[in-house]
Amino acid sequence: MGAPGGSAWKSRPIRLAFEYNCIFRAAAEQALDRFNIPWEIGVESDSTRTIEASVSADLAIHAAVRESMPRYLEVIRHGGALTPLTEIGINMYIAPGANEALANRLAEAVRSAYDNRVALAAE
């Protein structure tokens, strides 16, 4: 994702913005390496807001779940100039125990909210 109408994705090396422990970071770096696209870390932070602000200012690009993308960022329409990213599964586990019924209800609410957001994004 990048800034609306942004050009950070066109620069080489591409500047990336990621949280230190972002699960998408390694996949993005490896994908760029596989296609010999030079990159550098432009912004590292513990704060998602710092990453989003940097990307919205067109200082760097970022990878995340499309359906969680803030409205002030957009999917980069690169026409094949960037490598496709690998899909990453997101799993939810429920531990058995005294609160299992409550955990199942919460899990169903999360699934439903996510499914609704995916459906809206596809429209």
CB 39 within 8 A of CB 83: no
* Residues 17 and 59 placed together within one structural domain of the fold: yes
Q: With 0.75 as the threshold, say if the pTM is over it.
A: yes
Q: What amino acid occupies position 47?
A: S
Is 77 a member of any domain?
Answer: no
pLDDT, residue 89, reads 74
pLDDT, residue 99, reads 92
Is 75 a member of any domain?
Answer: no
* Residues 14 and 57 placed together within one structural domain of the fold: yes
pLDDT, residue 117, reads 61
Is 40 a member of any domain?
Answer: yes
Is 115 a member of any domain?
Answer: yes
Please list the ranges in the chain whose pLDDT falls under 70.
116-123
Is 39 a member of any domain?
Answer: yes
Task: Give CA separation, 25 vs 39, 44, 110, 114, in Å.
Answer: 12, 11, 24, 22
pLDDT, residue 63, reads 94
* Residues 16 and 56 placed together within one structural domain of the fold: yes
Q: Spell out a b/e string for 61-90, using b for 16 or more CB atoms within 10 Å of the CB, else e.
A: bbbbeeeebeeebbebeeeeebbeeeeeee
Is 22 a member of any domain?
Answer: yes
* Total structural domains within the chain: 2
Q: 21, 37, 68: which is the final residue of a domain?
A: 68
> Domain range for residue 52?
8-68
pLDDT, residue 87, reads 77
